[in-house]
């Protein structure tokens, strides 16, 4: 197989994804957290492929792997593309990585043909998006958007290692000055396109290999701590208990009810625990996460207000204390109509009926949208649409179609920054 042949790009993309999946923090699952040895091995693989594809490349101050395929005109604007290469714990091998590997494969094809684009194409392998190690979602893309949170440098992982020390151990400068210097100039950008596996069943159920994203749902995350009174499980009457876990359970159901009331609204409690719990002890403390998302900010914010009010009312009724700490708020990111329309035209030229859909998952494009206009191409997810899971899958045929659409798109992007 010649990896630069146009009709072999899909197979090449899946082959590269398989090779990257060999690097993991866990021997029995695909887990790649920010700046671990496995993470650095993946970065090295991306560097090698970018060089082979004819790109100039470097590792920036937060560990992003950045490749540049220069236009013939040195004054041309920059079209950005890319996605993340870190993973969730026990994740899938296409989430994020498809959006890096596909552009690399396409650039390899262009380089073999000696073809240059009307824009400089910058392919970014974002080093951190999932927040697995430092609870720092969008750390890498926020730096390019000029939105890096300086307080993160002092945040420690589960082993007590501060982010600053982890960066230095990986050979990064770990200074705020070096990170803030990464911010891109919006006047130099022609836009951003992210290719991503759908992570859902919509395209699969409709029999479509590709979809054009209309907007990326904004999310708000909180950590809830419910404090009651621990007591003996056998000697405290039910009516006299201040059970933190029972109160939390009622709050979870309130979240589920409220977040079932609008089409794009979702609410999730993904983490729930009783610290130092025991079988024969009434829970005196319960902690859980809250993640609320919607296709527009007003819908999400109204739900958040109602959820907070409901949880506070439950706490008061049960005689427990409730503390809610907001850990993240990311506004919705609408995709640019002109870029969406161009992407839909490219999908149609590939012989696929253009279908537009929102993204319920967060993506690096949300952060880059603060800099420039963005669009996203979704690629069908197999196995019922399951993602963030080792069962995540896609076909070489779908990757091939996506590569052809991406190639068509980058050839026709207007070379005028916003």
Query: Above pLDDT 90, what percent of the chain?
Result: 90
Task: Decide the pairing of beta strands 210-216 and 333-334.
Answer: antiparallel
Contacts of 22 (CB under 8 A, 6+ apart): none
Residues of the chain with pLDDT under 50: 416-418
**Residue 8 DSSP class:** G
Residue 1: what pLDDT? 54
Element (H, E) at 321: strand 321-330
CATH code for 218-330?
3.30.70.360
Q: Residue 324: is it exposed, middle or buried by C-beta count within 10 angstroms (0-12/13-18/19+)?
A: middle
Reduced to 3 states, what is the DSSP secondary structure of residue 202?
A: helix
Tens-digit pLDDT profile for residues 293-350: 998 899 999 999 999 999 999 999 999 999 999 988 888 999 999 999 999 999 999 9
Give domain 6-217+332-412's CATH architecture: 3-Layer(aba) Sandwich (3.40)
Q: What is the predicted pLDDT for the residue at 15?
A: 97
Q: Which residues contact 254 (CB under 8 A, 6 or more apart)?
A: 307, 310, 311, 314
From the DSSP assignment, how many helices (H) and strands (E) are in the chain?
12, 16
Which residue in this structure is represented by tokens 């439950």? 314
pLDDT of residue 224: 98
Q: How far is CA 176 from the centre of its chain?
A: 23
Query: What are the sequence ranges of the domains in the chain?
Result: 6-217+332-412, 218-330
pTM: 0.87
Q: What is the DSSP letter of 296?
A: S
pLDDT in tens, 360-380: 888 999 999 999 999 999 999
SS3 193: strand
């Amino acid at each position: 197989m010649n990896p630069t042949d146009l009709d072999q790009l899909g197979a090449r993309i899946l082959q590269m994804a398989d090779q990257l999946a060999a690097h993991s923090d866990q021997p029995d699952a695909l887990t790649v957290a920010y700046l671990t040895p496995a993470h650095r091995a993946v970065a090295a693989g991306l560097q090698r492929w970018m060089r082979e594809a004819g790109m100039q490349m470097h590792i920036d101050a937060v560990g992003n792997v950045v490749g540049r395929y220069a236009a013939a005109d040195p004054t041309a604007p920059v079209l950005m593309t890319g996605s993340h290469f870190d993973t969730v714990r026990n994740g899938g091998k296409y989430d994020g990585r498809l959006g890096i590997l596909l552009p690399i494969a396409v650039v390899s094809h262009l380089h073999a043909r000696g073809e240059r684009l009307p824009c400089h194409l910058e392919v970014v392998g974002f080093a951190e998006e999932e927040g697995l190690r430092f609870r720092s979602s969008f750390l890498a893309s926020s730096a390019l958007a000029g939105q890096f949170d300086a307080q993160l440098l002092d945040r420690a992982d589960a082993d007590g290692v501060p982010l600053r020390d982890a960066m230095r151990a990986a050979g990064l400068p770990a200074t705020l000055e070096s990170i803030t210097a990464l911010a891109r100039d919006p006047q130099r950008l022609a836009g951003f396109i992210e290719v991503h596996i759908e992570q859902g069943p919509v395209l699969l159920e409709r029999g479509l290999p590709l979809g054009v994203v209309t907007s990326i749902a904004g999310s708000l995350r909180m950590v809830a701590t419910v404090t009651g009174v621990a007591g003996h499980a056998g000697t405290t009457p039910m009516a006299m208990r201040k059970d933190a876990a029972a109160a939390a359970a009622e709050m979870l159901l309130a979240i589920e009810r409220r977040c079932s009331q609008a089409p794009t609204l979702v609410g999730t409690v993904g983490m729930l625990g009783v610290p130092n719990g025991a079988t024969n002890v009434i829970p005196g403390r319960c902690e859980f996460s809250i993640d609320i998302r919607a296709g527009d900010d007003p819908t999400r914010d109204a739900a958040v207000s109602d959820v907070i009010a409901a949880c506070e009312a439950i706490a008061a009724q049960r005689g427990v204390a409730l503390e809610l700490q907001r850990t993240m708020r990311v506004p919705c990111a609408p995709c640019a109509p002109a870029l969406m329309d161009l992407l839909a035209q490219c999908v149609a030229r590939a012989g696929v009926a253009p279908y537009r859909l929102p993204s319920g998952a967060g993506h690096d494009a949300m952060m880059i949208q603060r800099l420039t206009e963005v669009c996203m191409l979704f690629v069908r997810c197999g196995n019922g649409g399951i993602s963030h899971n080792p069962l995540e899958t896609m076909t070489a045929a779908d990757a091939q179609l996506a590569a052809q659409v991406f190639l068509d798109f980058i050839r026709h992007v207007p070379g005028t920054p916003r």
